[in-house]
Structure 1
Amino acid sequence: MADEQMPVKIRVKTDVAHEGEKETFELSLFGRLFKKDGSTFLKYDEVQDEGVVHTIVKLADAGALILRSGALKMRMIFEEGQRLNGSYESQFGTLLLTTDTKIFTHNMNDAGTGQAELVYSLLMQGDAVGTYTMNIHYELEEQL
């Protein structure tokens, strides 16, 4: 049952604060959940102007990983209290992303409903681009 993928409803809310400005992005979509090696994985596709972006979110005990592929390629790693390097591939080449994670929490109940919170500062090529508060809520779809 470890690799069994279950359908989930996923809500992602991201607040971005930068130089006194604040923006909020919200996403509600359907995806898949599976567990592997003690971690919880969420897979979903986002349709953006550039095309479809495939996203995998890995939620482990010590931290999180967000991988995006398709129209957008990105890798971000999160561990509370750590500054970790990732990457973002753009039409201008690969850019260095650094996450400085302040808070990481993840809880899931027996019914398969879970909540994760990430609060981090993001640097691109060493320049601060904002402080992000990301809340991910997911729940298993009712099996009909």
Structure 2
Amino acid sequence: MSRESAQQVPVKIHVTTKIYNGKNKDSIEWVGFGQYLEKDSSKYIKYEEIIEEGTINTIVKISEKEGLILRSGAVKMRLPFLINKKKIGSYESPYGVFQLITDTKRLELELEQQQQNTGIFDVLYDLNMQGSNNGTYHMTISFKEEK
């Protein structure tokens, strides 16, 4: 039996996360390279970040009404998104596993019509960790096929 696997396309990735917590605003950006693929009714963005503590492998899974960010390696995290619903995730640190709750306000994937394997994933969510409000997060992941 042969199973055809989805083809991974090399992409340039730009991740921007804006965090709003009361009067404080923080912004984190990362630019690098990874892969994009479509399998069944889901889209995937995969990339690797190198930080001081080691390598973080990230997989972003996006379907029509939900999304999931999985991180493994130096950081272990599971961050689920379901539009207008609260979802339980986790963050593993050297001090233990912490429960995360996301309350997703917006979840969109906009694919370029003119350019294949190019688009923007946009998610806006409130994040609670261990019952404490960590703020409102606005993350965008733009990706563009590398030729």
- The TM tier, using the shorter chain, reads over 0.9
Greater shift after overlay, 14-23 or 103-112? 103-112
Whole-Å Cα distance in 1 between the matches of residues 108 and 27 of structure 2? 20
Q: List runs of 5+ in structure 2 lacking aligned partners.
A: none
User: Contact (CA 8 Å) 2:9, 2:117: kept in 1 or not?
Assistant: no
Paired AA for residue 102 in structure 1: K
2:75 alignment partner, one of 47, 72, 76: 72
On the 8 A contact 2:56/2:73 being kept in 1, the answer is yes
Gaps in structure 1 of 5+ consecutive residues: none
User: Which residue of 117, 131, 137 maps to 1:132?
Assistant: 137
> Aligned to 2:123, which of 101, 110, 118?
118
One-letter code aligned to 1:63: E
C-alpha contact (below 8 Å) 2:49/2:55 kept by paired residues: yes
1: CA distance, partners of 2:122 / 2:144: 15
Distance 1:102 1:126 in 2: 19
- Runs (4 or more) in structure 1 with deviation over 6 Å come to none
How far did residue 2 of structure 1 move? Answer: 5.2
- Whether 1:43 aligns to 2:34 is no
2:111 and 2:133 mapped to 1: Cα distance? Answer: 32
Aligned residues: 142
Q: What residue identity is the alignment partner of 2:32?
A: L
- Percentage of matched positions with identical amino acids: 41
Residue in structure 2 matched with residue 5 of structure 1 by the alignment: 8
Q: How much is the aligned-residue C-alpha RMSD, in angstroms?
A: 1.1
Partner Cα distance (2:73, 2:112) in 1: 32
Match of 2:61 in 1: 58
Give the Cα separation in 1 of the matches to 2:95 and 2:71: 17
Match of 2:98 in 1: 95
Which residue among 86, 91, 101 is the counterpart of 2:89?
Answer: 86
